[in-house]
Structure 1
């Protein structure tokens, strides 16, 4: 099977399993993603992060800087 053929299988699995069980694997895969994919992931993660959390502003600021730097 090709990598492209693996994608729909993985998509179906992601929809069915608790991703918390795979946190370390997901983090490892994210390290190998392109810079732009990492930024997209960070933006999606911060969108789901509670704005009242004490770490929100610092993380949001770091993500905004990463986005700004990537646009240079």
Structure 2
């Protein structure tokens, strides 16, 4: 099987399980991806943080700084 086939199986499995049960594994996997993928993941996750959350502003500032720093380093 190819990596693409594995990815499809994983996507189907993720759709069926409670991701909270895999929080540690997901966090560890996010540490292994490239910096660009980490930034994309941060932006995707930030879009899911409720705007009314007390942490929204702080997290927005951190993600914006991470993205800006990455663009400077290119």
TM-score of the two chains, using structure 1 as the length reference: 0.90
Range 2-11 or range 14-23, more displaced: 2-11
Structure 1 segments of 4+ aligned residues over 2 angstroms from their partners: 1-5
- For the residues of structure 2 that align with 1:18 and 1:12, how far apart are their CA atoms? 12
Task: Report the count of equivalent residues.
Answer: 72
RMSD of aligned Cα (Å): 1.1
Task: Note the residue ranges of structure 2 that are not aligned, 5 or more in a row.
Answer: none
Which residue number in structure 2 is paired with residue 14 of structure 1?
Answer: 14
TM-score of the two chains, using structure 2 as the length reference: 0.88
- For the residues of structure 1 that align with 2:60 and 2:49, how far apart are their CA atoms? 10
Task: Note the residue ranges of structure 1 that are not aligned, 5 or more in a row.
Answer: none
